Amino acid sequence: MTERPDVKTLWRNQEREDNAVTLEHIHERASQFQKRIRRGLLIEYVASIFVVLIFGFYIWVFPGWMIKAGSALIILAAAFAIWQMRRRMSAQNVPDAQRLELIAFHRRELVRQRDAWTSAWLWYIAPFLPGMVLMGMGRWFQFHASWRSLAWDHEIIILASAFAVLVLGSIWLLQMRAAKRLQKEIDALDAASKD
């Protein structure tokens, strides 16, 4: 009776045709990467328009200088974050270059995006904190919902603040995950370019 080979071993040891990195393959990967960047930035631009509209509405509707000032700070934070995203993460045109220049371009872009996501807590999350804190303080001290008791209103403010911290923490974790994914792509590109 002959021994059957282990399927996992066969899978790992099989020859793969995609090991050969062609100029067209690199160009396609770089182009797809830049398209993803453009799409992501477009989503951020649209989201920032909603932030400006919503918090502009808050400035107009809600009483109390703290809520109004906090809303204005959030609008400024959204504008700052978009400016930083455009400065740090904007998509580039993929050059028609030789293999090594194209690999170098794609690697630079991956590194640039990774570094942007790694530092995003400083320019994407932190600018929103003063406005959020000021709005929370405004709700706590200046604007009490008349249809709720003060204790119940304070509980809702605390829950909303905890939710905001959870959302910001989730955004930070997603940014770190994106940076790790980009680092894996950089490592794979480095390994492929050595072949």
Which has the closest alpha carbon to 105: 91, 119, 84?
Answer: 91
Give Cα 93 distance to the centre of its chain: 21
Average pLDDT over residues 190-195: 73
What percentage of the chain carries pLDDT values higher than 90?
A: 48
What is the phi-psi region of residue 64: left when phi exceeds 0, alpha when psi lies from -120 to 50, beta otherwise? Answer: left
Looking at residue 3, its pLDDT comes to 52
Condensed to tens digits (0 to 9), the pLDDT of residues 86-116 reads 999 998 888 876 777 888 888 899 999 999 9
Mean pLDDT of the region 129-135: 92
Contact between residue 70 and residue 133 where contact means Cβ atoms under 8 Å apart: yes
Query: For residues 82 and 89, what is the distance between their CA atoms, to the nearest angstrom?
Result: 10
pLDDT score, position 56: 96
Q: Is the pLDDT of residue 1 over 60?
A: no
Q: What angle do CA 37, 42, 45 make, to 5 degrees?
A: 125
pLDDT-wise least confident of 24-28, 133-137, 183-187:
24-28
CA pair distance 129, 146, nearest whole angstrom: 27
Of the two residues 53 and 168, the one the predictor is more confident about is 53
Residue 190 neighbours by CB distance under 10 Å: 12
Which secondary-structure segment (H or E) carries 9? helix 7-13
13 pLDDT higher than 80: no
Tell me the pLDDT band of 157, cut-offs 50, 70 and 90. confident
Average pLDDT over residues 69-92: 94
What was the pLDDT predicted at 12?
47
At 19 the pLDDT is 46
Nearest by Cα to 171 from 128, 130, 110, 131: 128
The span from the CA of 194 to the CA of 106, in Å, is 15
Q: Which tokens go with 37?
A: 């960047």
What is the pTM (predicted TM-score) of this model? 0.76
Say what the pLDDT of residue 94 is: 84
